[in-house]
Amino acid sequence: MEENYCHRYIDNFKLGVYAGTAGEEYAKTFNIPYEIISEHTHSYTSKVTKPATCTENGVRTYTCECGDSYTETIPATGHNYGDFVVTKSATCTEDGVKTKTCANCNDKITESIPKTGHTSSDWIIDKNAAINVKGSKHKECTVCKKVLETAEIPALSMINIQSANVSVSTNSYVFDNTAKKPSVTVKIGGKALKNGSDYTVSYLNNTKVGTATVRITGKGDYTGTITRNFTINPAKQQIQKLETRYKGFFVDWAQKGSATGYEVQYATNSNFTGAKRATITNNKTDKTTVSKLSANKTYYVRVRSYTNRNGKVYYGAWSDVKSIKTANNDITKATVSGISTKAFTGKAITQNVTVKVGNTVLKNGTDYTVSYSNNKKVGKATVKITGKDKYGGVITKTFKINPAKQEIQKLTAKSKAFFVDWAQKGSATGYEIQYATNSKFTSAKKVTITNKNTDTKTISKLSGKKKYYVRVRSYTTVKGTKYYGAWSASKSVTTKK
């Protein structure tokens, strides 16, 4: 039964009702004393008696103070879902889940996230292939790391080193009679190979002048051989002596055993513009005289060695440049005096040389210099007079150095004989003893002692009680020639009976 009535009060057990309302009907039905009250205008107050939810309607009730009321429906609000939230991530092999939740009632909606499937990597090397050894590789999922594919890497073949890029540390050397061993750098495809493990190095013809070879031979993973060449040139020359000559010059340089020959270059300027050249084809020749030049002219001179090897010519560096002024007088036209035979002293022997051109006596040190060779030992000595400044040319004279004069140290008479003792000379090859019955040594006899260490002798088979004159001299044999020293002072002795 709808409650559309209201009552204001009950007075003396009478129910106050409005006429024609359910209240009046109610009072009549249940015999409740009532009293009709006057008509009024309803004034309703609303109140939510049942809140609306996401899925159910709510109720709003309007009530008048007279007790009358009515209701109206509050529509359901509907769900207020937020964004999806991943509650289970999808994997390569399993679906994932995403959920969104109502902010009001916590109701949830879930949806499936499709599985991603595998994402393949590039090939990953597990084992590098080596020479004659297979390798292996695989592809895997970049997400879950599951191996997706495997494959074999074919074994490598040995690498021929002939494809290598080879550089030699030094391409040119100067001969010094020692083996030359330049280092090498060997690269294949930008990779530097290691000496000893990837290759070995050996050398050919690397001591003498010419083209030498470095040989690189593959080792380990490398096979084959590759060669590179380098050059050994003659050593730099050196002018040892440069002397003026009449309208020319004399030059002496260092003899090089490795050389085939030499070149002498000369010019009137230090730049060697328009230079001329003299070629010496005998490697034993280490000096030459250049003539037919202008007199009283300065020439610049340099020398170099060359070597012919297998049809190719290898040149050494030029010597340092030296200059010389040619002479305008020929000293070879001069006369030389003051040179005589000398006796051995054990020291270097010189001469009192005089050099004259016409009536002019030249000055030693100003117009010429004097030098000697082989002037200390017994034999043939040489004196060399070399023109200087305005005098050019060379005069060569020789003189003998004979053994020193001998000396009889003891002379003793014996029966029909005598004993003689003389000074031993270290420079002597042997000795001669001469004796006669007269002081002029007419028809004298001679005894030769060929042992230089013998310095005594007994001469026998003589006449008894006879006076003999005796003298001794040394001799020295040099290159087949005998050089005799002066006789000792003669001494006499009378033999015994």
Q: What does the pLDDT look like over 274-291, one tens digit per residue?
A: 999 999 999 899 999 999
Please check whether residue 348 is in contact with residue 375, taking contact to mean a CB–CB distance below 8 angstroms: yes
Please check whether residue 404 is in contact with residue 345, taking contact to mean a CB–CB distance below 8 angstroms: yes
Please check whether residue 55 is in contact with residue 74, taking contact to mean a CB–CB distance below 8 angstroms: no
pLDDT of residue 7: 43
- For residue 492, list its beta bridge partners: 469
- Judge whether residue 31 has pLDDT over 80: yes
Please check whether residue 168 is in contact with residue 195, taking contact to mean a CB–CB distance below 8 angstroms: no
Please check whether residue 73 is in contact with residue 57, taking contact to mean a CB–CB distance below 8 angstroms: yes
pLDDT of residue 36: 78
- Judge whether residue 10 has pLDDT over 80: no
pLDDT of residue 35: 80
Average confidence (pLDDT) over 385-389: 92
Give the pLDDT band (50/70/90) at residue 13: low
Output the six-digit token pair for 116. Answer: 């991603």
Average confidence (pLDDT) over 181-197: 95
pLDDT of residue 174: 94
Q: Where in the chain are the domains?
A: 10-74, 124-153, 159-233, 239-325, 329-402, 408-494
What's the chain's average pLDDT? 92
- Judge whether residue 155 has pLDDT over 90: no
Using the 8-state DSSP alphabet, how is residue 162 labeled? G
Nearest to 314 by CA among 231, 205, 228: 231
pLDDT of residue 131: 82
Topology, domain 159-233:
Immunoglobulin-like (2.60.40)
Say whether 408-494 and 329-402 share the same fold: yes
Residues 408-494: name the CATH superfamily.
Immunoglobulins (2.60.40.10)
Average confidence (pLDDT) over 196-223: 95
Exposure of 364 by Cβ count < 10 A (0-12 exposed, 13-18 middle, 19+ buried)?
Answer: middle
Q: Which helix (H) or strand (E) holds 494?
A: strand 491-494
Residue spans of beta strands (DSSP E) within 179-224: 184-188, 191-192, 199-204, 210-218, 222-223
Average confidence (pLDDT) over 304-312: 95
3-state secondary structure of 379: strand
Residues 6+ apart with CB under 8 A from 477: 429, 430, 483
Nearest to 256 by CA among 298, 303, 199: 303
Q: What is the CA radius of gyration of the chain?
A: 68
Q: Which helix (H) or strand (E) holds 248?
A: strand 248-253
pLDDT of residue 17: 73
pLDDT of residue 11: 45
Output the six-digit token pair for 102. Answer: 């109502």
Q: Read off the pLDDT of residues 56-111 as tens digits, 9 standing for 90 and up.
A: 998 999 998 878 888 999 998 889 988 999 999 889 999 999 999 998 889 899 99
Q: Read off the pLDDT of residues 233-273 as tens digits, 9 standing for 90 and up.
A: 999 999 999 999 999 999 999 988 789 999 999 999 999 99
Largest CA distance in the chain: 223
- Judge whether residue 308 has pLDDT over 60: yes
CATH code for the part of the protein at 239-325 = 2.60.40.10
Q: Does domain 329-402 have CATH number 1.10.3470?
A: no
Q: Cα(475)–Cα(470) distance, rounded to whole angstroms?
A: 17
Q: Read off the pLDDT of residues 454-496 as tens digits, 9 standing for 90 and up.
A: 999 999 999 999 999 999 999 999 999 999 999 999 999 999 9
Q: Read off the pLDDT of residues 423-433 as tens digits, 9 standing for 90 and up.
A: 988 789 999 99
- Look up the pTM and report it: 0.57
Exposure of 26 by Cβ count < 10 A (0-12 exposed, 13-18 middle, 19+ buried)?
Answer: middle
Q: Cα(373)–Cα(329) distance, rounded to whole angstroms?
A: 25
Average confidence (pLDDT) over 125-144: 91
Q: Read off the pLDDT of residues 325-357 as tens digits, 9 standing for 90 and up.
A: 999 999 999 999 999 999 999 999 999 999 999
Amino acid letter for position 407: E
Please check whether residue 113 is in contact with residue 98, taking contact to mean a CB–CB distance below 8 angstroms: yes
- Judge whether residue 182 has pLDDT over 80: yes
